[in-house]
Amino acid sequence: MCGIVGVIGVPNAPEVLLAGLAKLEYRGYDSAGLYVNDQAGHDFLVKRVGRISALEAAVDASVQGTMGIGHTRWATNGRPTLANAHPHVSADERFYLVHNGVITNAAALQAQYLQGVTLASDTDTEVVVQLIAVFAQTGLSAKAAFRRALQLIEGSYAFCLVDRLDPSTLFVAKNQSPLLIGVGTGFNVVASDALAMLDQTDQFIALADHELVTLTATTVRIEALDGTPVVRAPQTVRLTDGDAELGAYPFYMLKELNEQPTVLRRLLARYTADGQVQLPAAVLQALQAADRLYLVAAGTSYHAGLVGKPLFEQLAGVPTEVHLASEFAYHQQLMAAKPLLIFLTQSGETADLRQVLLKAKAEGWPTLTLTNVASSTLAREADAALSLAAGPEIAVASTKAYTAQVALLAILAQGLGVAQAQPAAAAFNVAHQLSLAASGQAQLIDQAPRLHEAAQHLFTGATRAFYIGRGTDWLVSLEAALKLKEISYIQAEGFAAGELKHGTIALIEADTPVIAFITDPATAAHTRSNAAEVAARGAQVLRIASAALAEPGDQLRLPDLDACLMPLLTVIPAQLLAYFASLDRGYDVDRPRNLAKSVTVE
Ligand code: G6P
């Protein structure tokens, strides 16, 4: 989703901004732009629809500057056009603004304050930059005009503003959308994600909502909207647990998919010792104090949460609910007396989850975030946070974060179960099971060429596909279908195998691809029957079964593993099938259309 970068005090601002924007590409965007000023009377505004490479090509040697702002836009208000691309400029060409978020009262502000101004775009952002200019025209300083606009604005925002009359200063503010200040020596930077500016500095200051920052090349002044100064020291941000470089892989998705066994081993090293779970005392206490757990997540993380529920219920004996964050935030649940909300989020920035976190704080519910980005908003603002330790995940289609989430939930469930003296936890060895899962995943990844053939056989010319299974196999079916649809654009659905016959089987026709997961001993025979039923109606069926349950004719065998962790294996062929389906259709696997990696609007 929209990405922001800013810099002040460097000889080569266009280069720094373009490099930063390239690092934010993973978030998803459909246009990009930058504004630079050389602080000697020259400035440049360059925007392009499409990829950053198009913007790079348009930024020729004449475009020079020592300060500036850059933006990748993921369209919300208005189509992805040049006019709607950021930075936006005020009609008097004094102010340049980039924005991430959604201003919900833009129309009202426009009607009230911008009667005489003709807008050049369809965006809420332009309303804000025009508003600042109108306020400045009444005699307010740039900062006072910005503050006045911020006081009127409703909605979410991260802003970076340049006043062309004073290019020695960058103005920054945020509410709900993420934004960090990076502190350098003789320069300062701004970014939606530290990753974008790690080449420049590793010293970052996280901003709180409703703070206004005035940046020069050598100073960072943070204040509350009422002008009260805020003192906050920078923190060191390091890329650990792997890197964000593509290396020899053609796509990040394939790289990250391949990293999954390493991620499992890393989690074991971090959260277990001598086969025993080791959790921070505060986390264990929070888990033990709860009489019901609420796993709150979106997308793939939600699917990982679904697998976590039986883990907590079986190993720890604690009732567990799994909720879509976008639903939970606004629809009041009947809550337990002692709830613990566990946020599952790769990015730590998903706006839907942040809204639930705000609600939890208002209600006084304790919170724990499991995230891959230690410096993220949800990590900082929850009562406690644990790292998924998966390393940067760049591909929009999440792979290793799913593995890390399922594994960390299993570790937490066993840690809690042991602490509560639950017999099921005592009988379970999560460390052993996760190391088996790591080697099982590696074996399955080695079978990529077979899965490529299977994907060609199943999906060439296909417009829809079904994944079926029961129990945890059904839960993986949901993730498998999401993976396929998000990167291959084949309409895909995951089904509880028994439900197919209650309606959806009507969609089965000659050659409809159906992938059946069979790893649950209690229901294997039933799922096999369901697979036979769709085959009898012409479907092309791919049967993926665990070794213990495999039968002749099954196309893929999964190594055996405790049933509750089987999704760690089942998900690998699902990921590979989706990857190859996208690849063979010639799509940009890492950057599927319309999607964003870090979804910072609700
Ligand atoms: C976006 C991404 C998905 C991700 C979801 C939740 O939709 O494209 O891959 O699963 O957000 O993101 P989170 O960072 O909270 O796990």
Q: pLDDT, tens digit, for every residue of 486-521?
A: 999 999 999 999 998 898 888 999 999 999 999 999
Whether the CB-CB separation of 117 and 130 falls below 8 Å is answered with yes
pLDDT at 241 over 60: no
- Ligand 1 pocket test, candidate residues 326, 327, 398, most atoms within 8 A of CB: 398
Q: Are residues 277 and 291 in the same domain?
A: yes
Single out the residue in 446, 472, 491 at which a domain terminates: 446
pLDDT at position 325: 96
Give ligand 1 pocket residues (Cβ under 6 A): 298-301, 345-347, 350, 353, 396, 398, 595, 597, 599
Q: Which of 217, 247, 277 is the last residue of a domain?
A: 247
Domain count, the chain: 3
Which secondary structure element, helix H or strand E, spans residue 159, and what is its range?
strand 157-163
In the structure, what pLDDT confidence band is assigned to residue 331 with cuts at 50, 70 and 90? confident
pLDDT tens profile 522-572: 999 999 999 999 999 999 999 999 999 999 999 999 999 999 999 999 999
Q: Give the chain's largest Cα–Cα span.
A: 82
Residue 542 phi, psi (nearest 5): -110, 120
Give the CATH number, domain containing residue 325: 3.40.50.10490
Asked if 495 and 475 sit in the same domain, the reply is yes
Residue nearest to atom 4 of ligand 1 (CA): 299
For residues 169 and 28, membership in a common domain is answered with yes
Give the pLDDT band of residue 246 (cuts 50, 70, 90). confident
Distance 41 CA to ligand 1 centre (A): 43
Whole-number pLDDT of residue 194: 87
Roughly how many angstroms between the first and final C-alpha of the chain, as a whole number? 11
Contact 235, 252 (CB under 8 A): no
Q: Please give the helix or strand (H or E) that residue 73 lies within, else none.
A: strand 67-73
461 and 484 co-located in one domain? yes
pLDDT of residue 242: 62
Could you read off the pLDDT of 73-102 as tens digits, one per residue?
A: 988 888 999 999 999 999 999 999 999 999
- Residue 210 sits in a domain whose CATH number is 3.60.20.10
CA of 299 to the centre of ligand 1 (A): 5
The pLDDT of residue 61 is above 60: yes
Q: Do residues 37 and 119 share a domain?
A: yes
Ligand 1 atom nearest residue 396's Cα: 8
Torsion angles phi and psi, residue 388, rounded to 5: -80, -15
| Residue with token string 């003192």 | 231
Of 446, 476, 509, the one marking the end of a domain is: 446
- pLDDT bucket at 584, cuts 50 / 70 / 90: very high
- Ligand 1, atom 3: closest residue by C-alpha: 299
Distance 372 CA to ligand 1 centre (A): 11
Taking all residues of the chain, what is their mean pLDDT, rounded to a whole number?
94
Please compute the mean of the pLDDT values over residues 259-265 and round it to a whole number. Answer: 95
- CA–centroid distance for 307 within its chain: 19
Decide which of 596 and 552 is more confident. Answer: 552
Which residues, in sequence order, are CB contacts of 57 under 8 Å at separation 6+?
Answer: none
Ligand 1 centre from 434 Cα, in Å?
24
Buried b (16+ CB within 10 A) or exposed e, 462-482: beebbbbbbbbbbbbbbbbbb
DSSP string, 119-149: -SSS-HHHHHHHHHHHHHHTT--HHHHHHHH
Q: Are residues 506 and 459 in the same domain?
A: yes
Q: What percent of the chain has pLDDT over 90?
A: 88
Taking the centre of ligand 1 as the mean of its atom positions, its distance from the CA of residue 301, in whole angstroms, is 7
- Is 2 a known active-site residue? yes
The C-alpha atoms of residue 332 and residue 294 are separated, in whole angstroms, by: 13
Q: For residues 256 and 399, is the Cβ–Cβ distance under 8 A?
A: yes
Closest residue CA from atom 2 of ligand 1: 597
pLDDT of residue 240: 59
Contacts of 119 (CB under 8 A, 6+ apart): 110, 126, 127, 130
Where are the extended beta strands (E) located within 337-451? 339-345, 367-371, 384-387
Is 226 found in the same domain as 175?
yes
Question: Ligand 1, residues 326, 328, 347, 376: which to mutate, most atoms within 8 A of Cβ?
Answer: 347
Active site residue 483: no
Ligand 1 atom with minimal separation from the 347 CA:
14
Mean pLDDT of the 49-55 span: 93
Looking at the fold, whether 511 and 547 belong to one and the same domain comes out as yes
Of the given ranges (327-341, 462-476, 532-546, 572-586), which has the lowest mean pLDDT?
327-341
Q: Look at the alpha carbons of 353, 355, 358, 364 in this order and tell me if their dihedral is positive or negative.
A: negative
Does one domain contain both 240 and 260?
no
With beta carbons less than 8 A apart as the criterion, state whether 95 and 125 touch. no
- Position 537: which residue type? R
* 475 band by pLDDT with thresholds 50, 70 and 90: very high
Catalytic residue among 23, 174, 485, 597: 597
Cα 273–chain centre separation: 30
Provide the domain limits for residue 330: 249-446
Residues 294 and 266 in one domain: yes
Number of helices (H), then strands (E), in the chain: 19, 27
For residues 405 and 560, what is the distance between their CA atoms, to the nearest angstrom?
20
Mutate to test the pocket of ligand 1, among 192, 253, 323, 350 (most ligand atoms within 8 A of CB): 350
Same domain membership, residue 434 and residue 473: no
Least trusted range by pLDDT, from 192-196, 416-420, 547-551: 192-196
Whether residue 512 sits in one domain with residue 562: yes
Most informative mutation of 357, 372, 597, 600 for ligand 1 (most atoms within 8 A of CB) = 597
pLDDT digits (tens, 9 = 90+) for 205-219: 989 899 999 999 999
